[in-house]
Amino acid sequence: MPMKGNAIIAQSGGPTAVINSSACGVIQTWLAQATGCGTIYAGISGVKGILEGDIIDLAQQPPELIDGLRHTPGAGLYSCRYKVSDADQEQLVSILKKLNIRYFFYNGGNDSMDTAHKTWLAAQSAGWEMRVIGVPKTIDNDLPFTDHCPGFGSAAKYLAASVRETGIDLESVSTKNKVTIMEAMGRDAGWLTAASVLSRRFPDEAPHLIYLPEVPFSIEQFIADVKLVYEQLGYCYVVASEGIRDAKGEYIAAGGQRDAFGHAQLSGAGAVLKDIVEREIGVKARCNTPGTMQRVAMHFASATDAEESYRVGKTAVEYALADKSGVMVTLERSEETPYRCVCGEIALGQVANIVKSVPVEWINDEHNDVKEEFIRYCRPLIQGEVALPMRDGLPDYVRLDFTKGRI
Amino acid sequence: MPMKGNAIIAQSGGPTAVINSSACGVIQTWLAQATGCGTIYAGISGVKGILEGDIIDLAQQPPELIDGLRHTPGAGLYSCRYKVSDADQEQLVSILKKLNIRYFFYNGGNDSMDTAHKTWLAAQSAGWEMRVIGVPKTIDNDLPFTDHCPGFGSAAKYLAASVRETGIDLESVSTKNKVTIMEAMGRDAGWLTAASVLSRRFPDEAPHLIYLPEVPFSIEQFIADVKLVYEQLGYCYVVASEGIRDAKGEYIAAGGQRDAFGHAQLSGAGAVLKDIVEREIGVKARCNTPGTMQRVAMHFASATDAEESYRVGKTAVEYALADKSGVMVTLERSEETPYRCVCGEIALGQVANIVKSVPVEWINDEHNDVKEEFIRYCRPLIQGEVALPMRDGLPDYVRLDFTKGRI
């Protein structure tokens, strides 16, 4: 019999298209399987909300809203970016004790796993028995010890489709703008940037050049790369990570330029590259900077990713009810062809604060493309589409009713 | 009996998600209905391609590729931005005569309708009887004498969905970036920017502020607007046209700032607004600049728009075969509820080079939102989704085979 007591779930860090699929998996599985244990609360805005007493009883939300989370992007329970202090940690455990929380689910990325780990240790120090399970999410795909991260596949699919579309745009009307630059999210890891390669069906199709933050970026080499493609095709499509850095580790985005007021230049890496192309090669360029659009494009999410995200949440509850604790749920690729994935686990202490980069062996020698190994890894993650409920021509996303079930 | 002779179609200007639906409508309808007249050619890259002899016989393309155009974004026949000189015009007519072209279909926006009109006049001057029909397209929705333009509904649907998604993102994690700015395409007309309003289901949902190029933009008022929303909600979502201008008509995007090299600042309007928010209000902001993504997002196109685009192409052929000439096909809203649209026509000479702006009466007095009249106008245009053929998790767009049927 699982330990009696309540559960709590909270979300932290940047949202994804499918982070709420995981939350929905946790909540629905708890409500279905943890009968007799207790209710499940949500901390609104992560640990910050729990510390501030911003907590609701999810059992009092209309079930259709909980179900609606499964197809709603963004952090349905709200998210925070908050570094928990030692004093916070103590207070957090005392709040959790007061609410008789015996199951703590934390849905987030690297920093969030650190928070979950510390909360687990703090509960142990306080002699409070509590299952703590990390529920991973990040479009950056940079959590270690998991084949990939929930949220990545959807962002990858959306970015690859967008590169294919804007690549066709460039190809079909290259009389004006001859170079298109797409700036992809992922400051420290190039997984999402690399995923743009899935757009390319033919050798001459976009993207022609891909720059990841894992290897040093050389402006001279970039100019030579673009010139070469441009001479061959008459146009050139570049995908660059927002976090590309030169050999000294300086961000290309900053560029050291300041405006008249001494403020750092407004532009990100993509706009800097656009300027370099126009100035040094003398052809007009365009930069697309979709920004947060990449991480919440539920309208073109990967069904594989959405299903796995739900499964990771479901598994988190099953692990906790089976007395596991102090672990993050992982995804393990059990078969390559056909692709199959199963859930596993890893100690939170091993995950926390480690960034998994794209292996340098998967990047070509010229540092401007990725290899077949990456494509084989990534392609299964973007398969399938999610059917969304639509209203008035737009996805009918839900909002939980935070006035219901307040404690 | 329609006049014997061949047809030609070409595309011009910025692509849309559904411009090829119109081209497909022209080609398939010609092949089905113009039996006995002749073949249908394509000028590759608009009139520029025709002038350079870059022409293919579309009857020699595999029918499945022609059919695939219907769900492929970008200019499937390639596009140009090219101002035709008087000498060009003469040469163009002589090429068309040599190919026995009696039907000329030109698929584009304002400038393209001007080109079509001039070509019609030039053919008349040369005593060459030729039907000339304009097939409209533009995401800017700024062609006059038509209720709306093919291509607009799809861009509007995509932008509104993206604002809804990134609005949820902002709302759910406003502890870091408290202001999101979306820069929308449409330098001279604010139709697309205004369409973002369709995202808003509740008064507090994004977008909170909408700025169109039709009315003067005041930086002071903008700061006050953002402050007010931010004080009420703790975050603020702004959609601004790339073409917003101050009372003197100066683009906000240019801003007069130059970098150390004397180059105009890299940023567009959105990045300038982001900087203003951070500097003047002191809260962190983010700017999404989807750029060309807006005009070719076939993966989330409006079925209404795609169907109408095809129908406009089909109608163009039917008009030509019925001896109409010198006209652009228009869309006329024949019923409000339920929405119905029929095709009509307008003389090319009346359309050419005129920009239709959002009526100022549809913009609120504060110049930071649009009124219900706009919503009633726009909402029917984004209804329905297009089922795309998918391969490997991505839309399986086609490329015509330009080596086939070359003349």
Chain A residue with the nearest C-alpha to that of B172: A78
CA angle centred on B219, ends B216 and B225, rounded to 5°: 95
Whether the Cβ atoms of residue A270 and residue A350 lie closer than 8 Å to each other: no
Look up tokens 């729990």; give the residue. A50
Mean pLDDT across the stretch B249-278? 72
pLDDT category at A233 given cuts 50, 70, 90 is: very high
**Which whole number is the average pLDDT over A56-72?**
98
Contact predicate A271/A287, CB 8 Å? yes
Contact: A79, B175; criterion CB under 8 Å: yes
- In chain B, the residue whose alpha carbon lies closest to the alpha carbon of A182 is B290
On the CB side of B248, how many CA atoms lie within 13 Å of its CA? 5
Q: Which candidate from A160, A259, A263 shows the least CB-CB separation from B394?
A: A160
What pLDDT, on a 0 to 100 scale, did the predictor assign at position B352?
Answer: 80
Give residue for tokens 């990134």. Answer: B166
Closest A-chain CA to B384? A393
Q: Which residue of B has its CA nearest to A167?
A: B74
Catalytic residue among A54, A140, A305, A369: A140
The residues near B203 (Cβ < 8 Å, ≥ 6 apart) are none
Under 8 Å between Cβ of B253 and B267: yes
Same fold, A6-138+300-353+386-395 and A152-295: yes
ipTM rounded to 2 decimals: 0.96
> Topology of domain A6-138+300-353+386-395, per CATH?
Rossmann fold (3.40.50)
C-alpha separations of A26 from A12, A132, A154, A185, B91 in Å: 15, 13, 20, 28, 70
**Given this structure, which CATH class describes domain B152-294?**
alpha beta
Domain A152-295 has CATH 3.30.70.1290: no
pLDDT, position A187? 87
* Lowest mean pLDDT across A70-74, A349-353, B288-292: A349-353
Across all residues in chain B, what is the average pLDDT? 95
Question: Model pTM?
Answer: 0.97
Tell whether the model's pLDDT for residue B262 goes beyond 80: no
Which residue has 């026509």 as its token pair? B345
Token pair for residue A79?
A: 């998210």
Does B175 score more than 80 pLDDT? no
- Check A261 against B271: CB less than 8 A apart: no
Distance in angstroms (rounded) separating the CA atoms of residues A340 and A40: 31
Residue in B54, B88, B114, B140 annotated catalytic: B140
**Residue B88 annotated among the catalytic residues of the structure:** no
pLDDT attached to residue A56? 98
DSSP for A22-59 reads HHHHHHHHHHHH-TTT--EEEETTHHHHHHTT-EEEGG
pLDDT, one tens digit per residue, over B208-245 is 999 999 999 999 999 999 999 999 999 999 999 999 99
Asked if the Cβ–Cβ distance from B79 to A164 is below 8 Å, we say no
User: Is the pLDDT assigned to residue A397 strictly greater than 70?
Assistant: yes
Q: Residue A261 — very low, low, confident or very high, per pLDDT cuts 50/70/90?
A: very low
Residue B245 CA to residue A6 CA, distance in Å, equals 56
Judging by DSSP bridges, how do beta strands A236-241 and B236-241 pair with one another? Answer: unpaired
User: To probe the interface with A, which of B293, B372, B381 has the most A CB atoms within 10 Å?
Assistant: B293
Q: Using CB atoms, which residue from B76, B172, B198 is nearest to A15?
A: B172
Side chain identity at residue B39, one-letter code: T
Provide mean pLDDT across the span B145-159: 98
CATH hierarchy code of domain B6-138+298-352+386-395: 3.40.50.450
Size of the A and B interface in Cβ pairs below 8 Å: 217
Distance CA B51, CA B84 (A): 10
| pLDDT number for residue A254 | 66
DSSP of B366-383: TSSSB-HHHHHHHGGGG-
**Cβ within 8 Å, pair B73-A168:** yes
Interface test with A, best of B307, B394, B398 (most A CBs within 10 A): B394
- What is the rounded average pLDDT of the residues A105-110? 96
How do the domains of chain B map onto residue ranges? Answer: 6-138+298-352+386-395, 152-294
**Are B288 and B180 in contact, with CB atoms under 8 Å apart?**
yes
pLDDT at B316 over 80: yes
